[in-house]
Amino acid sequence: MEQLNGLVESVLESAAEHELWSPHDTIVVAVSGGPDSVALLHVLHEISLTRTPLSLICAHVNHGFREESRQEAELVRSLAAELGIPFELAEFDIPSVMKESGLGPEGTAREKRYEFLIETARRYGARSVALAHHADDQAETVVMRLLRGSGLAGLAGIRWKRIEKKVELIRPFLRINKTALVGLCKEQGYTYAEDASNLLTHYTRNAIRLEVLPFLESYNGKVRQSLLQLADIAGTEDEFMETETAKCFAGIVSANHGKYTFERAAFAAVPAALQRRLIKLILNYLSAGSSSADFPKIESVRRGTLQEQPTTWILDLGGGLTCVRQYNTILFSSKPPKRQVSYTYQLSLPDSRLWLTEIGKVMTMTLLERVDFFTQGEDSGKLLAWFDGDELILPLTIRSRLPGDTIKVMGLNGSKKVKDIYIDDKIPASERSVIPLVCDGLGNIVWIPGVRRSMHAAVGRHTTSVVLLFLEEAGKSEVT
């Protein structure tokens, strides 16, 4: 009884520290029939009777892997009956389910097991599902993640609690080693099952438990304790970094219609550790929480953002995610960049309004007999332009950009490539295809709205009539 009381005190201490439950909570206890989960059910039952009122549900999954599975299910059923705890059983033919899931046997079994446990918790209105992972499991997990290559979040190992589909998964035994749990079962005479597959080293976790950790212990007899300390330290520091990353995200990232952007200067001012986490957070948002953000992808985005050249690039991050650098702006999207649009329209008097459906804009042309254009001037930096009505050759053609396009810019001797103008003005590549080009009746480009106008049909002192062109977003009021 002394050992049971010791474990009860240890679990209550951990439960208080990590807020694993409150009085009168309903908890589904996952019981496989092994010594760990049998000990968990007994400890939680003792707590519910003597320390904190809890309602327990015993849940068991028969994966159908071994001949002993039915016997183990009956063992757990008998245990629940002995303690007066409701019992729930799920039986799966995992080999058959594997064909549909596309996962291996362990992955499929885990998926179906958690699906059943969460569904059971919902049926009973339970706050949480208690799992029997212990300190040895934690040490093995940290080693596995070290071998795989992991960041701080991975080194934190198994968490005391986490939310899955609005149900908490709690692990009250994470500071208790397996030896203590097996010792409790033997001292109290609790019946439990032995899973022979735990001795098969072709499973990675088994190999780490049976071969790797004993080897490491030959160099450091306290290596398991060191791994637990690493997990504790990494876990608390990871939580701190998550909070700081959220603050950083709120400070420098703009979200708009499923796209996330930040400015290069603001990003460069952030410490490298937060830079990586910020990129990972954005990619996780775009991929709905799936783990598509591995270190090489994150680092390629980070380094590409910090380097001086090139100033424009696009990275395919897989899973439909892209990152685009547009000079000093970095843009993340879950959709591929817009395809190059192609269109050609004609506009001539007395027509006054033309819808450019491909780019969602409207071109308006107005003929003015007399206007104080000397006061208003020709503003090539806005989406309107003035032309001499007698010199402008109609009809006008409004079209998308073509390779090799050039324009005779006012104040410049000769022509300049439209592409070079876009580059000089740092117009992002993703925006260039939606800027229309206005050509006169001879095919000369006379205006690039918002960018440049040409030297053709310039308004002068002897101008008697003026053609006003205006480009606006579709749906906005017409300029007259």
Token duo for residue 438: 């206005």
User: What local confidence, expressed as pLDDT, does residue 425 receive?
Assistant: 84
Q: Are residues 6 and 52 in the same domain?
A: yes
Helix (H) or strand (E) holding 90: strand 87-91
Within a domain: 21? yes
Within a domain: 239? no
Token duo for residue 333: 């999207």
User: What local confidence, expressed as pLDDT, does residue 107 receive?
Assistant: 74
Q: How many domains does the chain have?
A: 3
Give the residue numbers spanning the domain of 299: 253-333
Q: In the 8-state DSSP scheme, what is residue 270?
A: S
Token duo for residue 340: 């190059």
The count of C-alpha atoms lying within 13 angstroms of the C-alpha of 9, restricted to the half-sphere facing its C-beta, is 6
Q: Are residues 171 and 285 in the same domain?
A: no
Tell me whether residue 163 is exposed, middle or buried, using C-beta atoms within 10 angstroms of its C-beta: 0 to 12, 13 to 18, 19 or more: exposed
d(CA 195, CA 182): 14
d(CA 321, CA 259): 10
User: What local confidence, expressed as pLDDT, does residue 377 receive?
Assistant: 47
Q: Are residues 447 and 412 in the same domain?
A: yes
Within a domain: 455? yes
- Which residues of the chain register pLDDT less than 70? 64-66, 95-105, 197, 199-200, 202, 288-293, 335-340, 351, 370-382, 430, 475-480
Q: Are residues 198 and 143 in the same domain?
A: yes
In DSSP notation, 118-138 reads HHHHHHHT-SEEE----HHHH
User: What local confidence, expressed as pLDDT, does residue 70 receive?
Assistant: 87
Contact 385, 369 (CB under 8 A): no
Q: Are residues 135 and 281 in the same domain?
A: no
Asked if residue 232 belongs to a known ligand binding site, the reply is no
Asked if residue 289 belongs to a known ligand binding site, the reply is no
Q: Are residues 269 and 386 in the same domain?
A: no
- Which of 303, 333, 363 is the endpoint of a domain? 333
Within a domain: 54? yes
Helix (H) or strand (E) holding 207: helix 204-207
Q: Are residues 218 and 257 in the same domain?
A: no
d(CA 61, CA 33): 10
Token duo for residue 59: 């849940």
Q: Are residues 276 and 360 in the same domain?
A: no
Distances (CA, A) of 284 to 90, 164, 260, 288: 33, 16, 12, 6
- Which of 289, 309, 333 is the endpoint of a domain? 333
Within a domain: 435? yes
DSSP strands (E only) in 309-441? 312-318, 321-326, 329-333, 344-347, 353-356, 361-368, 384-388, 396-399, 406-407, 416-417, 437-439
pLDDT tens profile 305-315:
999 888 888 88
d(CA 204, CA 104): 13
Q: Are residues 158 and 39 in the same domain?
A: yes
In DSSP notation, 316-327 reads EEETTEEEEEET
356 three-class SS: strand
Q: Are residues 128 and 157 in the same domain?
A: yes
27 three-class SS: strand
Asked if residue 35 belongs to a known ligand binding site, the reply is yes
Distances (CA, A) of 425 to 326, 445, 467: 12, 18, 26
Within a domain: 8? yes
Token duo for residue 83: 């303690």
Helix (H) or strand (E) holding 29: strand 26-30
User: What local confidence, expressed as pLDDT, does residue 25 receive?
Assistant: 96
Within a domain: 164? yes
User: What local confidence, expressed as pLDDT, does residue 65 receive?
Assistant: 67
Token duo for residue 269: 């001012």
Asked if residue 296 belongs to a known ligand binding site, the reply is no
Q: Are residues 30 and 10 in the same domain?
A: yes
Calculate helix-pair angle for 178-188, 35-50, nearest 10 degrees.
70
60 three-class SS: strand
Tokens 């843009």 correspond to what residue? 331
Q: Are residues 292 and 365 in the same domain?
A: no
- Which of 333, 365, 398 is the endpoint of a domain? 333
Asked if residue 69 belongs to a known ligand binding site, the reply is no
Q: Please report, for the domain that includes residue 51, its CATH number.
A: 3.40.50.620
CB crowding 311-350: b at 16 or more within 10 Å, else e: eeeeeebeeebbbbbbeeebbbbbeeeeeeeeeebebeee
